[in-house]
């Protein structure tokens, strides 16, 4: 135990926890150490090193003491002789539920791909019950990725791809941008080794020049903001994460000159009003690129991300992106759902439940009788695809997967509107129901009292929700039709 100092975990927290929380974390640490004693990882290190690093990751993301304790204990039921009953007696039901939510389902009698999907299905069901399950699972996965060199090569790629395709998008949907990027960058060299090496070389060749182009902008902006008397908390810059950069390079024929946010200046101020005032100062100093001003403060992303983005001509041939936000916005951008402290106050938990209401759809997906392939297809199309944000005429935001049609929109608003849809207006113009929507479209659905879903709608819908309502309606009315056709009226 000498090599593992509990203080290393506690110092990751920005605010010192209460003594009862310190006691809980310490008890969990020692309990896990004893339970895993004698177990080794493939690297030869004690197995306890993994749960210790998992708990440290949770502390870095400002999780509560209960979650950090569960991080220490997340493998004891599966990998040691400790029983569920013994764990509950020592730490209570809440921690046991968290541990069960992230336990690798080794007892499920499935093999290969099917077993993996069944485990994923049950994990998502647990996630829908308690968001903290996600945080523990992501913290666990991040440390496993950082020690992936000790795993055999074929398994390395599977774990890395799974991390990029499932776990990073989950982190993104919950707004945990920092953790999403850490997972992607740790997995990238194992999932796509050639592409990772290529990005490394491109960055190495260009990063010094990119940083140099920031120097003049940074100095001039810093001087201007000091004279403005705004409450500037911090000015720094960030380099785009490697996996994210690779995705953009693919879209732009691997030409880094066509990517304007490889390095971006970040300005953190005190209030929302100061965000807009800062934007005004920036535009008085440099010309902005047309169509590159983005207001995610007025229109936040679904995952809660808020910031102002502008891209400016530096005047010496360079182009620089500048991001402006408050400290609170920055916290949400980095830590997402963890920044809500949702398990410290009931009111905050309720707010987070409303904010991430879409998670309840996992419950329906988990309970559905879809097969393995359908489950994965629905998961990727509904939850992990790129998202669009579409407006009702009243200004409410409807979040849909990219490629959704007006019918998907109708069912997302209400099943009755979907079932009775007869046409639509997009941005004031009449369109057909198979029209594909784009972010910022304003959509109004025309309905008819005698309107009914058509089987052909299944081919022009993207979301599982819409397909489910269409199939249900058609099936029920087919059965009703058979009933009225073959049962004499007097017996009905």
CATH for 84? 1.10.3210.10
Residue 48 inside a domain? The answer is yes
Q: Which of 157, 187, 217 corresponds to the end of one domain?
A: 187
Q: For 398-413, how does the pLDDT look when each residue is reduced to its tens digit (9 = 90+)?
A: 878 888 999 999 999 9
Q: For 110-152, how does the pLDDT look when each residue is reduced to its tens digit (9 = 90+)?
A: 334 444 555 555 666 666 667 788 889 899 999 999 999 999 8
Q: Which of 187, 217, 244 corresponds to the end of one domain?
A: 187
The one catalytic residue in 21, 45, 64, 78 is 78
The predicted pLDDT at position 342 comes to 41
Angle between helical axes of 65-73 and 93-102 (0-180°, round to 10): 50
**Does residue 287 sit in the same domain as residue 329?**
yes
The predicted pLDDT at position 324 comes to 97
Number of domains in the chain: 3
Share of the chain above pLDDT 90, in %: 46
Q: Which of 146, 168, 187 corresponds to the end of one domain?
A: 187
CATH of the domain at 330: 3.30.460.10
Residue 369 inside a domain? The answer is no
**Does residue 177 sit in the same domain as residue 240?**
no
**Does residue 203 sit in the same domain as residue 133?**
no
Which two three-digit tokens encode residue 435?
Answer: 């029209």
Residue 364 inside a domain? The answer is no
CATH of the domain at 456: 3.10.20.30
Q: What is the mean pLDDT of the chain?
A: 83
The predicted pLDDT at position 379 comes to 61
**Does residue 182 sit in the same domain as residue 123?**
yes
DSSP strands (E only) in 361-469: 387-391, 397-401, 421-426, 429-431, 443-447
Q: What single DSSP character describes residue 116?
A: H
Residue 262 inside a domain? The answer is yes
By CB atoms closer than 10 A (0-12, 13-18, 19+), residue 378 is buried
Reported as a pLDDT band with limits 50, 70 and 90, residue 372 is low
The one catalytic residue in 79, 162, 198, 353 is 79
- Determine the structural domain holding residue 262 and report its residue range: 194-335
- Reported residue count of the chain is 492
Q: What mean pLDDT comes out for the span 456-476?
A: 89
Share of the chain above pLDDT 70, in %: 81
182 included as an active-site residue: no
Residue 356 inside a domain? The answer is no
78 included as an active-site residue: yes
Q: What mean pLDDT comes out for the span 260-280?
A: 93
User: What's the number of CA atoms in the CB half-sphere (13 Å) around residue 150?
Assistant: 11
Residue 236 inside a domain? The answer is yes
Residue 206 inside a domain? The answer is yes
Asked whether residue 54 carries a pLDDT value surpassing 80, the answer given is yes
């Amino acid at each position: 135990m000498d090599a593992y100092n509990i203080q290393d975990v506690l110092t990751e927290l920005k605010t010192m926890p209460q003594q009862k929380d310190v006691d809980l974390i310490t008890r969990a640490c020692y309990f896990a150490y004893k339970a895993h004693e004698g177990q080794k990882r493939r690297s030869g290190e004690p197995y306890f090193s993994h749960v210790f690093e998992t708990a440290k990751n949770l502390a870095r993301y400002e999780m509560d003491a209960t979650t950090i304790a569960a991080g220490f204990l997340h493998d004891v039921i599966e990998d040691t002789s400790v029983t569920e009953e013994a764990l509950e007696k020592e730490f209570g039901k809440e921690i046991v539920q968290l541990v069960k939510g992230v336990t690798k389902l080794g007892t499920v009698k499935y093999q290969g791909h099917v077993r993996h999907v069944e485990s994923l299905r049950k994990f998502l069901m647990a996630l829908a019950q308690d968001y903290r399950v996600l945080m523990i699972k992501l913290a666990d996965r991040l440390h496993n990725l950082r020690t992936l060199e000790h795993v055999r090569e074929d398994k390395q790629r599977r774990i890395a791809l799974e991390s990029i395709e499932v776990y990073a998008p989950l982190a993104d949907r919950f707004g945990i941008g920092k953790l999403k990027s850490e997972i992607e960058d740790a997995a990238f060299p194992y999932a796509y080794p050639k592409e990772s090496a290529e990005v490394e070389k491109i960055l190495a060749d260009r990063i010094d020049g990119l940083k140099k182009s920031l120097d003049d902008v940074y100095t001039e902006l810093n001087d201007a903001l000091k004279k403005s008397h705004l409450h500037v908390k911090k000015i720094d810059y960030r380099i785009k994460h490697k996996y994210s950069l690779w995705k953009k390079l693919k879209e732009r024929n691997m030409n880094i000159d066509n990517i304007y946010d490889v390095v971006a200046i970040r300005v953190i101020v005190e209030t929302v009003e100061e965000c807009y005032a800062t934007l005004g100062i920036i535009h008085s100093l440099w010309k902005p690129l047309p169509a590159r001003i983005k207001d995610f403060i007025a229109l936040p992303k679904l995952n809660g991300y808020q910031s102002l983005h502008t891209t400016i001509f530096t005047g010496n041939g360079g182009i620089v992106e500048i991001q402006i936000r408050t400290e609170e916005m920055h916290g949400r951008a980095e830590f997402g759902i963890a920044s809500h402290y949702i398990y410290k106050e009931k009111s905050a938990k309720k707010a987070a439940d409303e904010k991430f209401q879409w998670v309840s759809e996992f419950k329906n997906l988990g309970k559905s009788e879809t097969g393995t392939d359908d489950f994965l297809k629905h998961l990727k199309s509904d939850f992990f695809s790129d998202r669009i944000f579409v407006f009702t005429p009243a200004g409410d935001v409807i979040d849909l997967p990219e490629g959704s049609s007006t019918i998907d929109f109708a069912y997302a608003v209400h099943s009755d509107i979907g079932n009775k849809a007869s046409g639509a207006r997009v941005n004031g113009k009449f369109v057909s129901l198979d029209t594909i929507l784009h972010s910022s479209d304003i959509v109004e659905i025309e309905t008819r009292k005698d309107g009914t879903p058509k089987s052909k709608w299944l081919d022009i819908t993207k979301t599982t929700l819409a397909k489910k309502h269409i199939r249900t309606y058609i099936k029920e009315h087919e059965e009703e039709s058979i009933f009225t056709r073959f049962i004499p009226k007097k017996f009905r």
